[in-house]
Structure 1
Amino acid sequence: MLRSLKRHLARGLTYALAIALVPLLAGVAGLGTRMVTSVRTDTAPPPYNGALPEPPRHDPTKRTAVVIAANSGTEGSDFLAPYEVLARSGAFNVYAVAPERRITHLFPGAPILRGVDIVPHYSFAGYDAAIGGDPDLIVIPFLPYEQAPEYQQIMAWIRAHAGPDTILLSICAGAKNLADTGLLDGRSATTHHYTFPLIAQAHPDVNLVRGVRYVKDGNLISSAGVTSGVDATLFTLQHMLGREAALDVAQQLGYPHTRFLDDPAYDPPATALSIGATAPPLANMFLSGYQPGSSSLGVALYSGISEIALASVVDTYPHEGRLTVHTVAPERAVVLSRHGLALVPRWGFADAPQLDRIVLPGHVGDAEAAVFERWAAERQQLPVERIHAAGGYFYDVTFSDMARRAGSAVADETVYLLEYPLGSGPAASPLLPAGLVARIAALALLGLA
């Protein structure tokens, strides 16, 4: 009897191994292929020589906030979210400033992914000539290219303009850039959960604080990862303008997490599969390995688009692991956002590639939407999805859509990466989409053949 039991156990283990091995090997092979093919060489924007708008008129009765961009690349939500929060307050002249006034890429989380392109209001020299003086607030998003020739120029400009009354606000891994200026030495800060070891190694004198959305140390305020930038910027408004100003902007945005104004404590859920503190989570790329080919997402740019609505789309969907963003407008010319940021689409209607899906972020009027709908129907044979039309905070809506389409496992991984306080995708969403489950099941059956 014992011998028979051992035979049955051995046979069962053999079947289990056969069922699991083929899907696992296919997933690993797909992951390897996806990691190679996801290293895009076309994330840098093509040159833009079209007309540029005049920078916004300076109002000397308002405070001045500068949001730094690196021409070599800047994280998208880190830049766009604080920009809109500050602009909505109505209390600031808000300027996008970079080493040079030329087209600049805002990437979604990782520089290898494509996001949206902007043109800053001023170069450093242009700002100094037109505005001069130290800003009341300097926002430092994540600027990854520390070996770029412009990097030390950015560091020097921040140091030179960090006056005694200037508040420095770092967003996400922008804390590493702030630390590189030397202005964080001996001070406390937080950052994205992947960036703690990098700062600890390069700047051991910085006191790193975990488990919070933001940290204030004198005139230095730092946010945790990506979407924590909204909380840190609202807190900055509360500090500079008062609580009512911060709550008013949060209400305008429909932002549901104002509890962090009182208590920044936050423990992000550990839902991601990661291979190290600085490596991207791999679960989404592993799952995308089962799905051949890639997907092209068209993102419509129109005059008056909300900067945060745009960020909620271009900074999230690419983390599905097989998707490339293509920003589109009627022509490849500057499109001004709600608060005067110059956006440059990758494509005009005439030369846009074939897309798999087209979304229209934010709240847009019927006439503006109809322009995109006619083009999409005639040239792309696709509908245009007004993804935020039903209301709700932009990121909540986008994550819910991602969970419905790609599965809650993919949405949860993205929530974790962007450190959004949603915690997880909607409970009603499937863990994985039915088509993906069927593909994995078919591979399992193949293992038994």
Structure 2
Amino acid sequence: MIAVRILKILAVVLAALALPAALGAPTVASAFAALNAPRSDDISVTPASPTFDPAKPTAVVVVGDRGAVVSDTLAPYEILATTGAFNVYTVASERRPLPLTGGLDLVPDLTFDALDALIGGPPDVVVVPAMPDVGRPSTKPVTDWLATQANGGALLLSVCNGAAVLASAGLLDGREATAHWLRLDEWEGTYPAVEWIRGTRYVDDGDVISTAGILSGIDGTLRVVERMVGTDAAADAARAIGWTHHHPGSPAPMREARLEASDTVVAFNTAFGWDRQRIGVLLTDGVGEIELASVFDTYGQSLAAGTITIGEAPVRSRHGLTFVPRVDRGAGFDRLVVPGTVEHDPVAGMDAPVHPHHSPGFPYDGVLQDLARTTDVATARWTAKVLEYPIDHLDLAGASWPWAETFRPLALAALGATLVLAGFALLRRGRARRRS
């Protein structure tokens, strides 16, 4: 009798878990797949050939065949370009639109072969962002090329989980390095020859500098500028982008991040955000690279909204990168966000587009405030934690928690348990009728 009761309890518990899991799993898969989903067409865009000044050092940001994290790619690029002291290019194994986080398609300036033909040897600095296929065979064109550049004397800067790209190429063996706090345990198991460091924004190990998560890449890039150009140039670059956390000479203090109870917000948003916002992002000529990154990475990393690029033709950013929109202005979306402070023509059929960068400050500030206002404060705080961006100075106003997304699995669990209990009740009635 006791065994039967235990089996019934287990059946109720499993039913309560099965329904939310069955309905939530596809949403989780869809949310993560959308982050670096490639475009569905095979459009060909050829940007203008970049210029080269042999009197300047050359810095390149490498993008994988399956894309890269948008902030890891564009923030270092803009910082290096802002100094005016470098030839700065984006490079990849192929010159075609490559997806950055959230569906922002970048056309690299050069292929690996074209870069070699242009400068006649390895670049002085190679920035390695996180890539969605790290550790897989598809990264081999990148890892083989990185090994060649390292052997040629290039300074390597990994951003976020770009450190795992270097580790997979064997370029961090016997070295100290860091990466995003969410995956350090994984990298310790996968790449045990690396001495992984926690609780720091970057690790300077001579000819390799590695940074922690996403916006810690700003600190690592400023360290590169400091070493190669000078302290004043690094300070000027930090001011130019609105980064108030610059810490000359050493990494800024950072509390080691860990998962907390409040971080469950991302699970509810990812699995049960069935009415996730669809945000159109209008691409305009002259937009800042960090302004673009702030929009696509903030909404994307929140997993509470999806972004799609809007525009009628390729655009060139402030420092000359080429981006290709995915749909024209007639596509359907819930809200329109316009990165940057560049004026633009009104968009037909859209009222009051969001301009997150028309107020002064670091570009991510306005986007995080909009995220809090349109989703909830807990989601905005989680996103800032993933971005590794201090937000004590921000006034985040909005709902405190995604209550609808939280109640959905509870309601599904209750429904699943109720159905099983109803089934048991019907069985009991059937037995009673047969006995009578």
| Bin for the TM-score computed over the shorter chain | 0.7 to 0.9
Q: Distance between the aligned counterparts of 2:395 and 2:370, measured in 1?
A: 9
The DSSP-based 3-state class of the residue aligned with 2:382 is helix
Aligned to 1:398: 367
The DSSP-based 3-state class of the residue aligned with 2:77 is helix
How far off its partner does 1:89 sit? 0.8
Change (3 A) 1:272 1:411: farther
Change (3 A) 1:398 1:197: same
Change (3 A) 1:28 1:432: farther
Q: Distance between the aligned counterparts of 1:438 and 1:68, measured in 2?
A: 39
Residue by residue over 1:15-73, the C-alpha shift from the partner in whole angstroms, topping out at 9 and shown as x without a partner, is xxxxxxxx999976764452144254791113343442222211111110011001212
Q: Residues 428-447 of structure 1 correspond to what in structure 2 (within 5 A)?
A: 428-432=397-401, 436=404
Of 374, 377, 380 in structure 1, the residue corresponding to residue 347 of structure 2 is: 374
How far off its partner does 1:287 sit? 4.2
Q: Residues 264-343 of structure 1 correspond to what in structure 2 (within 5 A)?
A: 264-270=252-258, 272=260, 282-287=264-269, 291-329=273-311, 331=312, 333-343=313-323
The DSSP-based 3-state class of the residue aligned with 1:316 is helix
Identity of aligned residues (%): 36
Residues 272 and 405, structure 2, Cα contact 8 Å, conserved in 1? no
The DSSP-based 3-state class of the residue aligned with 2:347 is helix
| Structure 1 unaligned regions, length at least 5 | 1-22, 108-113, 275-280
Aligned to 2:50: 56
Matched, 1:218 2:206: yes
The DSSP-based 3-state class of the residue aligned with 2:203 is strand
Residues 231 and 258, structure 1, Cα contact 8 Å, conserved in 2? yes
Matched, 1:127 2:107: no
Instruction: Name whichever of 409-418 and 35-44 sits farther off.
Output: 35-44
Of 379, 391, 397 in structure 2, the residue corresponding to residue 410 of structure 1 is: 379
Q: Distance between the aligned counterparts of 1:363 and 1:126, measured in 2?
A: 34
The DSSP-based 3-state class of the residue aligned with 1:46 is coil
Matched AA of 1:59? D
Normalised by the length of structure 2, the TM-score is 0.83
Residues 336 and 343, structure 1, Cα contact 8 Å, conserved in 2? yes
Matched AA of 1:311? A
Aligned to 1:143: 131
Residues 99 and 150, structure 1, Cα contact 8 Å, conserved in 2? no
Q: Distance between the aligned counterparts of 2:126 and 2:246, measured in 1?
A: 23
Of 72, 84, 87 in structure 2, the residue corresponding to residue 78 of structure 1 is: 72
Q: Distance between the aligned counterparts of 1:394 and 1:152, measured in 2?
A: 34
Q: Residues 94-109 of structure 1 correspond to what in structure 2 (within 5 A)?
A: 94-107=88-101
Change (3 A) 1:417 1:117: same
| Structure 2 unaligned regions, length at least 5 | 1-15, 416-436
Instruction: Name whichever of 147-156 and 201-210 sits farther off.
Output: 147-156
How far off its partner does 1:261 sit? 5.1
How far off its partner does 1:437 sit? 9.3
> Larger radius of gyration, structure 1 or 2?
2
How many residues end up aligned between the 2 structures? 400
Q: Distance between the aligned counterparts of 2:337 and 2:110, measured in 1?
A: 30
Aligned to 1:347: 327
The DSSP-based 3-state class of the residue aligned with 1:348 is coil
How far off its partner does 1:436 sit? 4.1
Residues 415 and 423, structure 1, Cα contact 8 Å, conserved in 2? no
Residues 315 and 322, structure 2, Cα contact 8 Å, conserved in 1? yes
The DSSP-based 3-state class of the residue aligned with 1:225 is coil
Matched AA of 1:304? G
Matched AA of 1:359? V
Matched AA of 2:352? P
Residues 283 and 413, structure 1, Cα contact 8 Å, conserved in 2? yes
Aligned to 2:339: 361
Residues 285 and 320, structure 1, Cα contact 8 Å, conserved in 2? no
Change (3 A) 1:394 1:30: farther
Residue by residue over 1:136-169, the C-alpha shift from the partner in whole angstroms, topping out at 9 and shown as x without a partner, is 1001111232466542221111111225642100
Q: Distance between the aligned counterparts of 2:294 and 2:396, measured in 1?
A: 20
Q: Distance between the aligned counterparts of 1:397 and 1:290, measured in 2?
A: 26
Matched AA of 1:58? F
